[in-house]
């Protein structure tokens, strides 16, 4: 099934139609800068523009950089606080006129990575972490997602972990690769003590340069691999979620759903 995937990030909002069965983009992705301030109506306008630019009609999956339960955005650590408590599913549904599924950005990237990328066939506990403006997490057990984990916000040395070890923290504090990798290593040691994952997939923009920092992560038992889908993981995962919801709706209409 085809679905439009839209990935809302701190600096840009990206979209492309996707074949959810193969994970392939059906057209080159388009990107519009995230409006400032990134309040709900302004973001919904961009979502509408993107859907219109693909002349889209059909399921739409949208990622959000915060907790999302039943379409409602519950946190917004790196987006405008006016998002807290918004029925984003209804807002974007109205903007696009299409059935919409909203989910956490790291969860979407993780689902895509488990299906088409570095996590294919991986059983046991797998943790995908995205390093960008914040640190996002997606936790899988035998391939099944535990949604809305917020492991970027554990406390390290009295600080929110993502303020020390995200890609943004590297830029903000002008940290060398070695220094930043040391902080990531310390962060991963905390995570490992809590969850003992078999595999950690590291994603986000900075995973493009994984050779500069992944080999320096020496204090971790788990296998660590860079993400494969890079920039497209959020779009693909969003489209997969939308297409799965649409399939479920169709089967319950036909009386075969549970
Ligand atoms: C948010 C997460 C999000 C991550 C990456 C964090 O600040 O709390 O929900 O997945 O940033 O965008």
Mean pLDDT by 10 residues, the chain (258 residues): 96 97 97 97 98 98 98 96 98 98 98 98 98 97 98 98 98 98 98 98 94 95 95 96 89 49
Distance CA 139, CA 119 (A): 11
Q: How far apart are CA 60 and CA 242, in angstroms?
A: 6
Q: With contact defined as beta carbons under 8 Å apart, do 146 and 140 qualify? A: yes
- Tell me the CA–centroid distance for residue 134 and ligand 1, in Å: 5
The atom number, within ligand 1, closest to the CA of 152 reads: 6
Give yes or no for residue 93 CB within 6 A of ligand 1. no
pLDDT at residue number 249: 80
CA 18 to ligand 1 centroid distance, Å? 23
Give me ligand 1 centre to Cα 251, in Å: 33
Enter the tokens of residue 239: 């489209």
- pLDDT at 247 (0 to 100): 87
The pLDDT value given to residue 111: 98
**pLDDT score, position 255:** 44
- The predicted structure's pLDDT at residue 252: 59
| Omega before residue 37 within 30° of 0, cis | yes
CA of 254 to the centre of ligand 1 (A): 37
Could you tell me if the CB of 238 is within 6 A of ligand 1?
no
pLDDT of 164 reads 98
Please give the pLDDT value at position 248.
Answer: 82
Give me ligand 1 centre to Cα 168, in Å: 12
Predicted pLDDT at 256: 41
- C-alpha span between 71 and 103 (Å, rounded): 7
Residue 129 · residue 201 · CB < 8 Å: yes
Does residue 75's CB lie within 6 angstroms of at least one atom of ligand 1?
Answer: yes
User: Order of strands, edge to edge, in the sheet holding 68-69?
Assistant: 68-69, 72-73, 86-87
Would the CB of 134 count as within 6 Å of ligand 1? yes
What is the rounded CA–CA span in Å between residue 66 and residue 134? 10
Atom 11 in ligand 1: which residue has the minimum CA distance? 134
CA of 258 to the centre of ligand 1 (A): 32
- Is there a contact between 242 and 61 (Cβ–Cβ < 8 Å)? yes
139: number of Cβ within 10 Å: 21
Whole-number CA gyration radius for the chain: 18
């Amino acid at each position: 099934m085809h679905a439009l995937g839209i990935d809302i990030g701190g600096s840009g909002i990206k979209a492309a139609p996707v074949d959810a069965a193969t994970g392939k983009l059906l057209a080159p992705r388009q990107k519009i800068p995230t409006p400032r301030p990134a309040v709900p109506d302004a973001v919904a306008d961009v979502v509408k523009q993107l859907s219109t630019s693909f002349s889209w009609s059909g399921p739409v999956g949208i990622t959000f950089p915060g907790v999302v339960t039943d379409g409602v955005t519950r946190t917004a650590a790196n987006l405008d606080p006016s998002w807290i408590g918004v029925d984003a599913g209804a807002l974007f549904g109205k903007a696009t006129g299409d059935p919409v599924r909203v989910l956490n950005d790291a969860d979407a990237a993780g689902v895509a990575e488990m299906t088409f990328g570095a996590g294919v066939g991986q059983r046991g506990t797998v943790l995908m972490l995205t390093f960008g403006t914040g640190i996002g997490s997606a936790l899988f057990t035998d391939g099944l997602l535990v949604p809305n984990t917020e492991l970027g916000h554990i406390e390290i040395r009295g600080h929110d972990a993502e303020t020390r070890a995200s890609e943004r923290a590297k830029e903000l504090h002008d940290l060398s690769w070695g220094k930043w990798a040391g902080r990531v290593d310390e962060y991963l040691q905390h995570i490992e003590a809590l969850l003992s994952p078999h595999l950690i997939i590291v994603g986000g923009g900075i995973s493009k340069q994984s050779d500069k920092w992944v080999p320096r992560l020496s204090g971790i038992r788990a296998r660590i691999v860079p993400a494969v889908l890079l920039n497209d993981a959020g779009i693909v995962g969003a489209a997969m979620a939308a297409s799965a919801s649409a399939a479920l709706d169709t089967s319950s209409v036909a009386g075969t759903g549970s």
